[in-house]
Amino acid sequence: MLIFLLASGLSLIFGLMRVVNFTHGSFFMFGAYIGRSIFLATDSFVLAILGGLLIGFVLGAIMERIAIRPFFGNRVQLLLLTLGMMLVMNELVKIIWGPTILRFPRPDYLIGTLFLGDIMLPYYRLFIVGIGLVLLFLVYFFLNKTRLGIIIRAGVEDSDMVQAFGINIKQVFTFTFALGVSLATVGGTISGPFLGVYPEIAMDNILVAIIAVVVGGIGSFGGSVAGSLLIGLINSFGGYYIPQVAMALNVVLMALVLLIRPQGLQGLFRKGGAANEN
Amino acid sequence: MSNLLQLEDVNTYIAGFHILQGISIEVPKEGVTVLLGRNGAGKTTTTLRTILGFNPPNSGQVKFEEEVINGWQPYRIAGLGIGYVPEDRGIFGTLSVYDNLKVAARDGVREMESRLETVYELFPDLKRAVRQQAGTLSGGQQQMLALARILVSKNRLLIIDEPSSGLAPIVVDRVAEALSELKKTLPILLVEQNYNMARQIADRYYIIDEGRCVHQGQMEDLDNEPELKQRYLGVAV
């Protein structure tokens, strides 16, 4: 679910704007730090999540307007820009919060374990799955049932044509970038009590998310769900049985997908195997 | 008759190439104006993209109802009430037919809904395929959808690029019928390589050659210009 929150935003941004946003992992990390700070200040985990979501949206919108838009259309410059910003953001958190791992306490009501026979299900893991499913549904609903969501999907295919219908595509870009970043920051906030809060969390997760996006199919929301699920399973089982090569398995899977089905998993399970599902 | 759209001595460069070389065109508020030219040159399509703001002119003026719209963003130009169908139809293939119409609903979904019955009367195939993914429609149906999208909003001018391109002759006839119906209520600026179709629906013509406007006149007069047709349009005499 955490991979999905990162991958879906990354995929939306790349699909619509053709921007490989390396800062996405850094926003995930920022979400963890900001969420922790809000939680410690207010003692409310709900506020921490909402704060992570809102601050991510605002920071994403500002970054798109100030940093991304002037270089729009130049993929190499944007790649270098987001890579550089990622490094700056990773160092910035060390200055503000220090380089060591910080503890993000779980709220009392999410401490404990549910026992189903021999199966142990920690409440917090159930919470992550639950909130991930809620966000998945909300984003799915937004992209498929609202006009703005449908415009974003249309823009992924042909942004010129969207403009030809009187739609200011730059505003759509800003909104999509902000939405994608807010999914990353809220993912970071939720991951904090589970993974801990530390600067390297950015790099640890961005690579996995990029692989999930490529495996699922760039620009496809459904593909990013499928890719995240597959990568999550490989990480879990690979990490348990052969932890030394768990990451390598992800890369091998990505290479295989690129060789056999470059468009990724999107549309694979549709009737007729249409390749262009969203 | 006053003009709705006017191009005055427009020059457009793309990647350093001088594509439009001083084009002047007038589109009146009624009827169909067609831009003719030899196939594959791309000059006519560039003319449309210059009007729509995708390839802004380097010099000269584009005016819509006497207002200069040079340098405007494409979405603002579209907002003046200009509906556009590109040569490749610009269908959003992953979206349903209905969602394609929804994206095009510049005046809101309610306005779109109120116009749907009229649209379905013109293109009954679309009513049956309304939930179908647009990418799975036939070429002819996609062209119908492309035309339908510009009819779900209040437009004042339709700009249509090669509507017969890649279609079977029987489908071309249906598209021509639809355009003949549309021209009764809206002015149309058309780019068309298919001379027979252009002759069927257009009132005025401009011949574009090498990025210049080399001839213009009433469509019915072009029939009496076999040399002109052969030289610039490749139509056998």
Cross-chain Cβ contact B102/A150 below 8 Å = yes
Strands (E), chain B: 3-14, 17-28, 32-36, 59-64, 67-68, 82-85, 157-161, 188-191, 204-209, 212-218
Q: What angle do CA B78, A221, B111 make, to 5 degrees?
A: 35
Q: How far is CA A55 from CA A50, A182, A238, in A?
A: 8, 7, 35
- Compute the distance between CA of residue A221 and CA of residue B72 in angstroms, rounded to an integer: 33
Contact B103 A154 (CB under 8 A): yes
**What are the pLDDT tens digits along chain A (278 aa)?**
778 888 888 888 887 777 888 899 999 999 999 999 999 999 999 999 999 999 999 999 999 999 998 988 788 898 899 999 999 999 999 999 999 999 999 988 988 888 888 888 889 989 988 988 898 899 889 989 999 999 998 988 898 999 999 999 999 989 999 999 999 999 999 999 988 999 988 888 888 888 888 888 877 778 888 888 888 888 878 777 887 777 788 888 888 888 888 877 776 655 433 333 33
Question: Residue B79's closest CA among A223, A271, A163, A245?
Answer: A163
Q: What is the pLDDT of residues B167-195, one digit of tens each?
A: 888 888 888 888 888 899 899 999 988 88
Identify all chain B residues contacting A274, using CB atoms and an 8 Å cutoff: 133, 135-136
Q: What is the DSSP letter of A106?
A: P
Distance CA B96, CA B92 (A): 8
Dist. CA A200–CA A102, nearest whole Å:
12
Q: Give Cα separations from B83 to A32, A75, A164, A268, B123 (angstroms).
A: 47, 31, 7, 35, 17
Cβ–Cβ contact B139 with A under 8 A: no
Q: Closest Cα of chain A to B73: distance in Å?
A: 8
Give dist(CA B24, CA B9) in Å, integer.
5
pLDDT digits (tens, 9 = 90+) for A174-229: 999 999 999 999 999 999 998 899 998 888 888 888 888 888 887 777 888 888 88
Q: Nearest by CB to A158, from B79, B84, B90: name it.
A: B90
CA distance B79 to chain A (A): 5
* Mutate which: B50, B54, B87, B94, vs A, most A CBs within 10 A: B94
If you measure CA to CA, which chain B residue comes closest to A145?
A: B99
The two tokens of residue A84 are: 């550089």
**Contact at CB, A151 and B90, closer than 8 angstroms:** no
Q: Please spell the DSSP secondary structure of A165-202, one letter per residue.
A: TT--HHHHHHHHHHHHHHHHHHHHHHHHHHH-B-TTHH
pTM for this structure? 0.84
In the block, residue with structure tokens 């939306």: A12
B chain contacts of residue A150, beta-carbon cutoff 8 Å: 95, 99, 102-103
**ipTM metric:** 0.89
Q: CB contact, 8 Å: B74 with chain A?
A: yes
Contact B90 A161 (CB under 8 A): yes
